[in-house]
Amino acid sequence: MSRMADTWILAAQCSSRLGTVDVVTRFLKEQQCYITELNSFDDRLSERFFIRAEFRPELDDFCGETFHDAFASRAAEFAMKFELTPPGKRTGTVILVSKADHCLNDLLYRYRIGQLPLDIRAVVSNHPDLEPLAAWHGLPFHYLPVTPETKAQQEAQIQKVIESTGAELVILARYMQVLSPAMCERLAGRAINIHHSLLPGFKGAKPYHQAYEKGVKLVGASAHYINNDLDEGPIIAQGVESVDHAHYPEDLVAKGRDIECLTLARGVSYHLERRVFLHGGRTVVLGN
């Protein structure tokens, strides 16, 4: 489901207990707010409750700050953590890339037509190849080459770009460098990566060529938050398509590119619409 242009989002979580849905829906009614979408999940194993409500205020003098403070008082009884997102919010974003352009090109197209409410502050790359694409969209491009000897300095420069632009989100759009544990920790919960998903799992160079040699029947992609486990962070979205013996390596690569683009865009959209809750090493994604 896509978010309406005039709706606010209230996303919250707390321990499972009686009244968790009521505290949200009753408050919205009292504040004269019409709920346009409501999703919740109660995890019986961890006894944790998650809820997301999109709503449209019906009072002309609605004030987000007043609403936030009033709900904080009501939610305190449940020790409920929550986030309130206004209509039209565009999330400050830095995109990291290497040489492959398909994911970046797709994100920039969706950004340009307004499908993804991003405010792209910069594109950063360890190669100069995609600077013309960024320039065509009027975006700052930072070429920060890296070698094993300069990796720490290069990551410090990336962090400087993120901090100086005030970016809230980092997207690794086929950025072919492994981030350090320290960098992963700094970006926890706000950096989304995309990688191929093949069975069996193929690592290293030319994974689709390896897949061809094994005669795979499925190709796919996973969008996930980064962590210190390479390509094993909490999963936000996945995509998959069937293939067969008639698909040559170049066909698998082409299918893989398409799936990577769609899956990354879907994962980013879920994050921007506050549908994703980090829950230990997993995610809860409401209303996807």
Q: Which of 42, 101, 231, 258 is catalytic?
A: 231
Tokens linked to 125: 């790359």
Contact assessment for residue 190 and residue 267, using Cβ atoms and an 8 Å cutoff: no
The DSSP-derived string for the chain is -PPPTT-EEEEEEEE--TTHHHHHHHHHHHTTEEEEEEEEEEETTTTEEEEEEEEEE-STT--HHHHHHHHHHHHGGGT-EEEEE-TT--EEEEEEE-S--HHHHHHHHHHHTTSS-EEEEEEEESSSTTHHHHHHTT--EEE----TTTHHHHHHHHHHHHHHHT-SEEEESS--SPPPHHHHHHTTTSEEEEEEEESS---SS-HHHHHHHHT-SEEEEEEEE--SSTT-SPEEEEEEEE--TT--HHHHHHHHHHHHHHHHHHHHHHHHTT-EEEETTEEEETT-
CA 86, 285, 270: angle at the middle one, nearest 5?
50
Token reading at 204 = 């290293």
d(CA 119, CA 108): 11
Catalytic residue at 244?
no
Token pair for 127: 């190669």
| Look-up of token digits 């320039």 | 135
Q: Which residues are catalytic?
A: 231
